């Protein structure tokens, strides 16, 4: 089972001395090692070895480089922004992991990596070839997941609720991307925020983001309508089946087995086989 409720799912992966290492901390290590490797390759003029790891919609669609859907976050050079991103993951990641469990946290992280670029791949038919690398949008998604879990918590220094801080950040980033005409950055920002909010909402947590909550509720209501319709169709089919068998049995009692048509005989045989299966001990 992917999402375990066992106590092990809420414990660290392992310990280094007295220090626990969670999945979020291990991700920081992986991102950092990848950053060091990429930066050194750039320094020695061999950064091209990472070229096939950067997400490219053209490579995915026409060359079959599907691994780019998961490798692009690990292609990022050293910068102060990278340090800030890792700090965000260290600050918010462990709390999200502790709340939802390690397996679901890893599934959330995987969704933040894959879902946005899958959407971009589909949109490339209209926008043209798309390239993207780095983990900034993914780590912003982790922050949104934290806010979705604790929307009414306050930032210590500014005395502002997290959900309003997140809304302000989304607004500022949106305006910045619009001002620079960076449609790709804008799409990744909102796709990552949406994936994180909907993922947390799917656990039954009211996120405090009315827009994303309404989206989830709409999809949930559509799903329940489909289930109700399917169950109603099954009930009608079962009723028709029972009525058909009753008519066949009534015909046999009046006119004998020889009066049955080939189709009626097949219906009776299927009903008998179903009855035998139900009566068999499991």
Are residue 122 and residue 238 in the same domain, yes or no?
no
Tally of domains in the chain: 2
Query: Is residue 129 exposed (0-12), middle (13-18) or buried (19+ Cβ within 10 Å)?
Result: exposed
Is residue 213 a part of any domain in this protein? no
Are residue 203 and residue 271 in the same domain, yes or no?
no
CATH of the domain at 159: 1.20.1540.10
Are residue 116 and residue 42 in the same domain, yes or no?
yes
Is residue 117 a part of any domain in this protein? yes
Asked whether 146 and 165 are in contact (CB, 8 A), the reply is no
Handedness of CA 150, 154, 155, 161 (dihedral sign): positive
Angle among Cα 111, 54, 48 to the nearest 5 degrees reads 155
Which pLDDT value is given to residue 207? 52
137-155 burial, b if ≥16 CB within 10 A, otherwise e? Answer: bbbbbbbbbbbbbbbeeee
Which pLDDT value is given to residue 122? 93
Which pLDDT value is given to residue 17? 82
Is residue 237 a part of any domain in this protein? yes
Element (H, E) at 278: helix 262-279
Q: Give the whole-angstrom CA distance, residue 264 versus residue 124.
A: 55
**What count of other Cβ atoms lies within 10 Å of the Cβ of residue 28?**
18
Which pLDDT value is given to residue 1? 36
Helices 183-201, 210-255: crossing angle, 10 deg rounding: 60
Are residue 173 and residue 233 in the same domain, yes or no?
no
Tokens found for residue 136: 């900034």
Is residue 70 a part of any domain in this protein? yes
Tell which residue, 190, 208, 197, 82, has the closest CA to residue 133: 82
Are residue 204 and residue 228 in the same domain, yes or no?
no
Are residue 95 and residue 132 in the same domain, yes or no?
yes
Are residue 166 and residue 110 in the same domain, yes or no?
yes
Q: What is the 3-state secondary structure (H, E, C) of 171-225?
A: HHHHHHHHHCCCHHHHHHHHHHHHHHHHHHHCCCCCCCCHHHHHHHHHHHHHHHH
Which pLDDT value is given to residue 73? 95
Question: Of 186, 208, 230, which residue is a domain's last?
Answer: 208
Are residue 191 and residue 245 in the same domain, yes or no?
no
Are residue 240 and residue 188 in the same domain, yes or no?
no
Q: Give the whole-angstrom CA distance, residue 191 versus residue 138.
A: 10
Q: Max alpha carbon distance in the chain (Å)?
A: 94
Are residue 27 and residue 157 in the same domain, yes or no?
yes
Tell which residue, 267, 222, 228, 266, has the closest CA to residue 244: 267
Which pLDDT value is given to residue 138? 93
Is residue 215 a part of any domain in this protein? no
Only one residue has tokens 């599907």, namely 66
Tell which residue, 136, 212, 209, 129, has the closest CA to residue 177: 136
Which pLDDT value is given to residue 117? 94
pTM comes to 0.71
Rounded alpha-carbon distances, angstroms, from residue 277 to 153, 175, 241, 281? 56, 64, 17, 9
Question: Of 152, 179, 208, which residue is a domain's last?
Answer: 208
Is residue 133 a part of any domain in this protein? yes
Instruction: Give residue 180's domain range.
Output: 7-208
Which pLDDT value is given to residue 203? 78
Are residue 238 and residue 176 in the same domain, yes or no?
no
Is residue 32 a part of any domain in this protein? yes
Are residue 16 and residue 104 in the same domain, yes or no?
yes
Chunked mean pLDDT (size 10), the chain, 282 residues: 55 81 91 95 88 92 93 94 92 90 92 95 90 93 91 76 88 94 93 90 65 58 69 59 69 71 71 65 54
């Amino acid at each position: 089972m992917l999402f375990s409720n066992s106590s092990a799912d809420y414990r660290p992966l392992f310990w280094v001395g007295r220090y626990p290492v969670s999945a979020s901390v291990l991700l920081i290590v992986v991102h950092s090692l990848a950053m060091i490797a990429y930066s050194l390759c750039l320094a020695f003029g061999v950064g091209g070895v990472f070229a096939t790891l950067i997400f490219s919609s053209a490579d995915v669609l026409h060359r079959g480089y599907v691994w780019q859907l998961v490798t692009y976050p690990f292609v990022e050079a050293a910068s102060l922004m990278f340090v800030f991103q890792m700090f965000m993951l260290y600050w918010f990641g462990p709390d999200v992991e502790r709340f939802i469990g390690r397996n679901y946290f890893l599934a959330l992280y995987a969704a933040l990596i894959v879902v946005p670029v899958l959407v971009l791949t589909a949109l490339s038919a209209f926008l043209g070839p798309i390239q993207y690398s780095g983990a900034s949008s993914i780590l912003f998604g982790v922050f949104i997941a934290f806010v979705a879990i604790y929307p009414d918590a306050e930032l210590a220094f500014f005395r502002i609720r997290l959900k309003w801080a997140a809304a302000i950040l989304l607004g500022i980033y949106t305006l910045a991307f619009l001002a620079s005409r960076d449609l790709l950055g804008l799409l990744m920002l909102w796709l990552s925020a949406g994936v994180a909010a909907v993922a947390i909402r799917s656990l039954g947590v009211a996120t405090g983001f009315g827009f994303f909550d309404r989206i989830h509720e709409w999809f949930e209501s559509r799903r329940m309508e489909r289930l109700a319709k399917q169950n109603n169709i099954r009930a009608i089919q079962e009723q028709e089946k029972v009525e058909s068998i009753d008519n066949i049995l009534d015909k046999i009692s009046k006119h004998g087995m020889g009066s049955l048509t080939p189709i009626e005989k097949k219906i009776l045989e299927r009903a008998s086989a179903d009855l035998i299966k139900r009566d068999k001990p499991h």
